[in-house]
Amino acid sequence: MFWSVCASLLCSGVNCGDVFAGAGLTPAGPAAAVLTMAGLATRQDAKVVRQNFSSNEAAAAKTSGEHANPPTIVIGFVGGFVRRDNAVHSPVQIAVRLRSAHLSGVHVEVFENHRRQDAYRKILQLLDTAHTGMLSAAEKRGARIIIYGMSWGGSETLALARELKTQKIPVLLTIQVDSVAKAGQNDEVIPANVAEAANFYQTNGLLHGRPQIRAEEQGRTRILGNFRYDYEANSLRCQGYPWYDRVFTKYHTEIECDPAVWNRVEQMIREKLPPVQDKEARSGKAE
């Protein structure tokens, strides 16, 4: 039965591995393989990241609340039915690294792609520095927001940006990775409130991403590029992913685990963030 469900879902852009995971049919033992800037880390690293995920998120939220000005907000969306704390997946790994590097002035949070409204409410909460329950024009203008997502998360990236546009809230950057449009959504046209946008995709297999994005208004949004990757010629071994992901959504999975792609994504995000202070400077120690 699961095979027939997966076959039908593949046609609608659902990751087979995520379906099995949601059904509780994942292999026993901890998920493995956390990508670092240099490549793949160990299974133990992945376990540690998952154990510390909640505490890191709480610390980031607490830190952002200490500032009169709103933090730079980084929102990530995972694809399929992936959990937001699943350390095998690259959107989660990026969030963990950014939290570790930016201890203040930046709020980083990952959401499941069906939790867009939670992400929207979190953004409004963080921007409401006066705690009035209603954003002023100045609070909206001061927003510094970055949104990125994988697969269905790429589709939700633009859906969230459009929702912010209705409130006249600007977005610094959107990044889509092998974006798969949800029913009724448009993952091609970048709304005019987005300053810059980038798209990473591959075109092989039954499940593949949006090959091109374009600006709703040419003078308002800069398209950084539509970056194509070919995994037929350069196959990757995605450690930590179940075999059915690697078989049924092979190329879609490979762009999701490709460190070359996600290092570029992370670099684009970091370029929009405040500089990382030296640890000794933060602690007040003299040289």
- Per-residue pLDDT at 15 exceeds 50: no
Average pLDDT of span 220-241: 89
- Assign 172 a pLDDT band (cuts: 50, 70, 90): very high
At 132-168, the pLDDT tens digits run 999 999 999 999 999 999 999 999 999 999 999 999 9
- Assign 190 a pLDDT band (cuts: 50, 70, 90): very high
Average pLDDT of span 174-182: 96
Check residue 212 and give its pLDDT.
96
At 54-104, the pLDDT tens digits run 444 444 444 444 446 899 999 999 998 888 988 889 999 999 999 998 878
- Round to whole Å and give the CA distance between 158 and 178: 13
Check residue 16 and give its pLDDT.
44
Q: Is the alpha carbon torsion for 250, 255, 257, 259 positive or negative?
A: positive
Residue scoring higher pLDDT (209 or 51): 209
What are the tokens at 219?
């003078």
Q: What percent of the chain has pLDDT over 70?
A: 70
- Per-residue pLDDT at 4 exceeds 50: no
Check residue 19 and give its pLDDT.
39
Q: Mean pLDDT for the chain?
A: 79
Average pLDDT of span 183-205: 95
Residue scoring higher pLDDT (186 or 205): 186
Residue scoring higher pLDDT (8 or 193): 193
Average pLDDT of span 25-29: 39
At 245-279, the pLDDT tens digits run 665 678 888 999 899 999 999 999 999 998 876 55
Residue scoring higher pLDDT (132 or 242): 132
Q: Is 276 exposed, middle or buried (0-12, 13-18, 19+ CB in 10 A)?
A: middle
Check residue 107 and give its pLDDT.
96
Residue 104 near residue 67 (C-beta atoms within 8 A):
yes
